[in-house]
Homo-oligomer: A and B are copies of this chain.
Amino acid sequence: MSQSGLITMNHMTHIQQLNPNAVALCSLGRWIASRHWVPATGGNFSIRQDENTALVTASGRDKGELSPQDLLPVSWQQEELFSPLGKPSAETALHAQLYQLDPAIKVVLHTHSVAATVFSRIISTEQYFFSGYEMQKAITGVTSHEQSLPLAIFDNTQNIPALAQQVKHCWQTKPLNFGLLVRGHGLYVWGYSLEQAKRHLEGWEFLINCELERIKLTGKP
């Protein structure tokens, strides 16, 4: 990296340490790690800075030790990603896609819990419908346990831009309800604030865990 690149990185790191968004995202990230939902350096988190920019966790960091210097600024223009500090991780493309689909999205969280991963594999359909749970109301817009709440499941691929395109296509035809599963991979949730994104994460994890337990107990998927 060039001398000017190093200066930029130090400068940006300094800015991020003082950035309340960065500090709050890292605090939430460490809490998520304490739940064992991002093991083995897996998962990634981001928080929007402005219309075309977000801070995104650098790949390979232990999420239990997350601090502002582990966040990279990333900008986007359609499918193109730019980062002054080097090539952002592949999965950033899905974060950028979500930020472009809804300008109100402030935070995107991608996690790898055992429950979400297993659930996404035992369900072979493109959507799973939750009903009868009061906890469905944790998802913004849901007002009753009597509604049927779909969660979309996409097949996994190492081609993240292609996955991002599928999500965009899906977004236009059926509601995504602030969350989606990637099969054998994990969960993405988002929200209009850090608090809302955390609530959606806990809500979806709860619903998925309940259905897994129910299937174990009754034998009926």
Residues of A whose CB lies within 8 Å of any CB of B are 39-42, 62, 112, 114-115, 117-118, 121-122, 132-135, 138, 143-146, 156, 158, 182-186, 195, 198-200, 202-203, 205-206, 209-210, 212-218, 221
Contacts and interface: CB of A to CB of B under 8 A. Distances in A.
Question: How often does this chain occur in the complex, in copies?
Answer: 4
A117 B138 contact: no
A62 B138 CA distance: 12
A158 B184 contact: no
Contacts of A62: 195, 198
Contacts of A185: 133-134, 145
Main secondary structure of the interface of A (DSSP, over half): helix
B203 A40 contact: yes
A194 to B, nearest CB: 11
Contact of A206 (B114, B198, B215): B114
A187 to B, nearest CB: 12
Contact of A138 (B40, B156, B182, B198): B40
Contacts of A202: 39-40
5 A-B pairs with the lowest CB-CB distances in the bound complex, closest first = A134-B185, A40-B202, A40-B138, A39-B202, A40-B203
Most buried by B among A42, A183, A203: A42
Contacts of A117: 133-135, 206, 210
Contact of A122 (B156, B195, B217): B217
Contact of A182 (B122, B134, B209, B213): B134
